[in-house]
Amino acid sequence: MHLLFSTLTLVPLAGGTGILDWVDSKNTAVQSTLRGLAITLAIVFVVWQAVSSRGALARIAISALVAGLFVWIVFNVTALKARVDNEVNGAGSSITTVYHPTPPTR
């Protein structure tokens, strides 16, 4: 019974907030965590490339560009999705319906 009670208190339903508000706040927290992790991975990648190439400037510059592109994609994935959705939905319909009245019967 104690385990059931402690499990139920993980989702705060009291205090005017519902389950959707709780899920939304958890989603925002996970998104922030993943963005921080992406930045950390990008930095580690550039440092790893710098160490493995023994300071070759071209390899460091290319790995920094790749890491920057990765971070940009992670941070702008929702904007990119919205842009694609707007272009797909704004393209118009390829099927047109033309109304033809029925011919009079003889």
Could you tell me the residue ranges of all domains in the chain? 19-86
For residue 1, the model assigns a pLDDT of: 45
Q: How far apart are CA 30 and CA 13, in angstroms?
A: 20
For residue 38, the model assigns a pLDDT of: 93
For residue 37, the model assigns a pLDDT of: 94
For residue 101, the model assigns a pLDDT of: 77
- Please state the pTM of the whole predicted model: 0.58
pLDDT tens for each residue of 17-71: 788 888 888 988 998 899 999 999 999 999 999 999 998 999 999 999 999 999 9
Query: Three-state DSSP class for 61?
Result: helix
Q: Is there a contact between 46 and 65 (Cβ–Cβ < 8 Å)?
A: no
Q: How far apart are CA 46 and CA 39, in angstroms?
A: 11
